[in-house]
Amino acid sequence: MTRRSSSVTIRDVARHAAVSVATVSRYLNQNAPVSQEVSERIQQVMLDLSYKPLAVARNLATRRTQTIGLVLHNMHTDFFAPLLRGIEAVVSEYQYNLLVATYKHTSRPENLSPLGPQNTDGILVYADSFNEEQLIDLCRVKFPVVLIHRTSPAHLKIPFVTVENRTATRKIITHLIETHGRRSIAFLRGPFEQEDSRLREQGYRDALDAHGLIVKPALIIDGEFDQFVAYRNVKKLLSGEGQRFDAVFTGDDEAAIGALRAIQEAGLRVPEDVAVVGFDDSRLSPFLNPPLTTVCAPTEDVGRTAARLLFNLLQEQPAEMATLLPTDIIIRRSCGCPASAAMN
């Protein structure tokens, strides 16, 4: 048992473990049950022989890469850290590898994705990273896909995981109106092509309509879920004639950082002159000045749930088609409240 690992074959392992080659193959590929006693014996022989199965050959035989993919349109903000943490926890549990690629269909006219059947066993697709045509192509070849922060096109029936956007936004805007008497509320929308952004705008409009407040197009500006875009556009709004507002819903916490800076540079106080609220409850939100009132979205749970759904598909088990995770309102000082609290 002192031979070089390169000369040890699966037949050697089978012989020393007193099992068939097929049993060793089942153990390595995990494509059929092997008893614990036999598994432990095979594992010990592999250690004794320094046997390392050739992953490429195993993958060719099983058509499995032991890898799942995650496609994002960018990784520029803190939002993605908890999402990745949730996904990675499940991927590690299944002893798979995770490939992450940044890609957006609109930026690549050749329509080629860096991840797919060529290098993964299944993929998680964030928001609008893939267009509908690409999703149709993957469904046509029955490739496992789960959508994140995007509902499935009705005719495709792809499992998806997202959070409650519209109701949560309506609640936080209602809080500004009813608790703090704000009547002129600006809204920094995210990218229009993202479903989260559109639903949050609907929630904003719902709240204003319910309180008899006019939706002012001039107070709906681009925030793009980006602190630099938000900073520039809030600064521009503050410098305009007749565009007065007493509160801002920034669409997400990343944009809130830029909005706070622009408001404070203009000599206005938050929340006394302008209240600011966000969405996501990112890790920086409690440490902003003032601490940010926001919607707490369970981003890590989104990642964890989506990954589990994908592994259900890989194992040909039932997978929930639509998962909508609840959100909470986290009250801090930026809205005008004196202390932290959760409002369900």
Q: Same structural domain for residues 85 and 98?
A: yes
Alpha-carbon Rg for the chain, nearest whole angstrom, is 26
Q: Same structural domain for residues 32 and 134?
A: no
Q: How many domains does the chain have?
A: 3
Q: Same structural domain for residues 95 and 201?
A: no
For the stretch 2-40, what's the b/e string if a residue is b when 16 or more beta carbons lie within 10 angstroms of its beta carbon? eeeeeebebebbbebbebeeebbbbbbeeeeebeeebbe
Task: Write down the pTM of the prediction.
Answer: 0.80
The domain boundary, picked from 38, 62, 86, lies at: 62
Q: Same structural domain for residues 316 and 290?
A: no
- pLDDT bracket for residue 340 (50, 70, 90): low
- pLDDT bracket for residue 344 (50, 70, 90): very low
Domain that holds residue 28: 5-62
Q: Same structural domain for residues 39 and 107?
A: no
- pLDDT bracket for residue 31 (50, 70, 90): low
Per-residue pLDDT averaged across 108-130, rounded?
A: 83
Token duo for residue 176: 């500004």
The domain boundary, picked from 39, 62, 85, lies at: 62
Helix (H, G, I), strand (E, B) or coil at 293: strand
Q: Same structural domain for residues 230 and 310?
A: no
The domain boundary, picked from 18, 46, 62, lies at: 62
Q: Same structural domain for residues 187 and 265?
A: yes
- With 50 as the cut, is the pLDDT of residue 5 above it? no
- With 60 as the cut, is the pLDDT of residue 61 above it? no
Helix, strand, coil shares, percent, the chain, to 5? 45, 15, 40
- pLDDT bracket for residue 242 (50, 70, 90): low
Token duo for residue 120: 């993964």
Convert the pLDDT of each residue in 250-298 to its tens digit. 999 999 999 999 999 999 999 999 999 999 999 999 999 999 999 999 9
Q: What is the pLDDT of residue 112?
A: 64
pLDDT top residue among 192 and 107:
192
- With 50 as the cut, is the pLDDT of residue 138 above it? yes
Q: Same structural domain for residues 219 and 287?
A: yes
Per-residue pLDDT averaged across 307-321, rounded?
A: 95
- With 70 as the cut, is the pLDDT of residue 339 above it? no
Task: Tell me what percent of the residues of the chain surpass a pLDDT of 70.
Answer: 89
Q: Same structural domain for residues 57 and 71?
A: no
Token duo for residue 251: 């669409």
Q: Same structural domain for residues 157 and 170?
A: no
Tell me how far the alpha carbon of residue 136 is from its chain's centroid. 21
CATH number at residue 73: 3.40.50.2300
Per-residue pLDDT averaged across 193-209, rounded?
A: 97
Q: What is the pLDDT of residue 65?
A: 86
Convert the pLDDT of each residue in 156-168 to its tens digit. 999 999 999 999 9
Q: Same structural domain for residues 132 and 58?
A: no
Q: Same structural domain for residues 180 and 272?
A: yes
Q: Which amino acid is at 195?
A: E
